Amino acid sequence: MNPKADLQKKGTFLSDIEELRRRAREHIEKGAVTGDYKGDLPTVLRVLNEALATELVCVLRYKRHHYMAKGIHSQSVAAEFLEHATEEQGHADQIAERITQLDGEPNFSPEGLLTRSHSEYVEGETLLDMIREDLIAERIAIESYSEIIRYLGDTDPTSRRLMEEILANEEEHAEDMKNLMETIGKEERKREH
């Protein structure tokens, strides 16, 4: 019996170390993208750049909402908007870093930013409108990032894990916006009566 073949059948680590070393020396200019990379690199880079654009649009919208928040609840809600803007900027930075790890170029160009983004930039007039628009944008991000995660599957586990982490944070943001919308909506209805 061949012990190496037996290991291969069991699905354990079986790579020939010398072969791994040889392959690591080939195409070193590609950095993290080895011959074992299974993703469709141009598509992965496009999708990650779309996620980057989505995050940048969210940063801009949350920043505007932070500065434009007015009314009795504006101080606490503006602080929440600013916190989310900061977290969205962190997501953008993480995605840009991953794009460069994959030997791509993160697209920060303002030209076409809205067409690359999955979410929209809607300003909203009232505090409740702003919260509602942010919740809608978070829900768009949740659905599109879930789709990206499914697309990546096992072909690019590092990008998938990154998007899973960001998705979890977007779900927290959506819950925050939902709670704010409910609380402020109730209080506004009380004042109207």
Q: Could you report the average pLDDT of every consecutive run of 10 residues in the chain (193 residues)?
A: 52 67 70 76 97 98 96 91 98 98 96 95 93 96 97 95 98 96 81 68
Say if residues 165 and 111 touch (Cβ distance below 8 Å).
Answer: no
Query: What CA–CA distance (Å, rounded) separates 159 from 156?
Result: 6
Rounded to whole angstroms, how far apart are CA atoms 133 and 140?
11
- pLDDT on residue 26: 74
Are 96 and 52 spatial neighbours (Cβ–Cβ below 8 Å)? yes
- pLDDT at residue 179 in the model: 96
Cα torsion for 9, 11, 13, 19, to the nearest 10°? 60
Per the structure block, which two tokens stand in for 68? 């434009």
In the chain, the N- to C-terminal Cα span, in Å, equals: 84
Q: Note the pLDDT of residue 152.
A: 96
Q: What is the pLDDT of residue 5?
A: 53
Residue 20 has what pLDDT? 67
